[in-house]
Amino acid sequence: MASEIYECLSKIAGIISENKDFLTELDREIGDSDHGINLARGFSAVMEKVNPEDADIGATLKKSGMTLLSKVGGASGPLYGTAYMEAGKVLAGKTELDAEGLKSAFEAAIAGIQKRGKAVKGEKTMLDAIIPAYETYSQKLSDGADMITALEAACNSAREGVEYTKTIIATKGRASYLGERSIGHQDPGATSSTLMLEAVLDVLKGK
């Protein structure tokens, strides 16, 4: 049987590939029409690097992050690459995700994205999905929810975050060249990060 982290990565790669054209189309409206192509190239390279036997979540995430840094090509490469590598650092040696581990991985990933891209919430980026998702996740855990319930709620917040990106002006990344004209369009990176969270939820639910 494949390890948990391998299943997560392979689910993410599958969902990204299914949504390749959709993500690229979103990026055509407010960017340079490559987000889906970039991520599909990155995750197919990740799937060539990882093996079903890779059990150490930290080491596998590190390897995946290194691959994303070099194969994605767009801003989402160093951003997701750093996020995966930073999450990998806090999960080093773990072979199964637990509620607290996922929480600290979330935190580390966000810190990595912010270190790299110097963006905050409200700039129409992936952070507008990921930060609310994290906030909901950690609130649900403190309310006593289990990991899956908390992650389900987090995915809802991420989807709301994607909707919210339609209402704001981009001030980071390529879309910022469009200024006011970026309003009305959802952010490709917020969309792809929501798809990734949904993929992880799917794997954890299926266990």
Partner 1 sequence: MVGIVIVSHSWKIAEGVCDLAHEMAQGHEGIIPAGGLEDGSIGTDAQRIADAIVEADTGDGVVILADIGSSIMSAETAIELLEDEGNNINVVIADAPIVEGTVCAVVEAAGGGSVDSVLKSAEESREASKL
Ligand X SMILES: Nc1ncnc2c1ncn2[C@@H]1O[C@H](COP(=O)(O)OP(=O)(O)OP(=O)(O)O)[C@@H](O)[C@H]1O
- The piece of 65-73, 96-104, 149-157, 196-204 that touches partner 1 (CB under 8 A) is 65-73
Q: Smallest gap, in angstroms, from Cβ of residue 108 to Mg ion?
A: 25
Considering beta carbons, is residue 75 or 147 the nearer one to partner 1? Answer: 75
Take residue 4 and report the two structure tokens written for it: 């948990």
- The piece of 6-14, 72-80, 87-95, 97-105 that touches ligand X (CB under 6 A) is 72-80
H or E stretch including 91?
Answer: none
3-state secondary structure of 83: helix
Among 41, 63, 140, 174, binds ligand X (CB under 6 A): 174
CA dihedral 27, 28, 33, 36 (to 10 degrees): 50
Q: Are the C-beta atoms of residues 140 and 119 closer than 8 Å to each other?
A: no
From its phi and psi, is residue 98 left (phi > 0), alpha (psi between -120 and 50) or beta? beta
25 binds ligand X (CB under 6 A): no
58 binds partner 1 (CB under 8 A): no
Binders in 47-106 for Mg ion, by CB under 5 A: 74
Determine the distance from the C-alpha atom of residue 109 to the mean position of all C-alpha atoms in its chain, rounded to a whole number. Answer: 9
38 binds partner 1 (CB under 8 A): yes
- Number of residues counted as binding ligand X (CB under 6 A): 23
189 binds Mg ion (CB under 5 A): no
With tokens 């054209």, the residue in question is 21
Take residue 29 and report the two structure tokens written for it: 């409206």
Q: For the chain, how many residues are written?
A: 207
Half-sphere exposure of 34 (CA within 13 A, CB side): 13
31 binds ligand X (CB under 6 A): yes
Between CA 158 and CA 132 the distance in angstroms is 6
82 binds partner 1 (CB under 8 A): yes
Which spans of this chain sit near Mg ion (rule: CB under 5 A)?
A: 27, 31-32, 34-35, 74
Which spans of this chain sit near ligand X (rule: CB under 6 A)?
A: 27, 31-32, 34-35, 38, 74-76, 79, 113, 117, 119, 125-127, 172-174, 187-190
Which spans of this chain sit near partner 1 (rule: CB under 8 A)?
A: 34, 38, 41, 66, 69-75, 77-79, 81-82, 116-117, 173-174
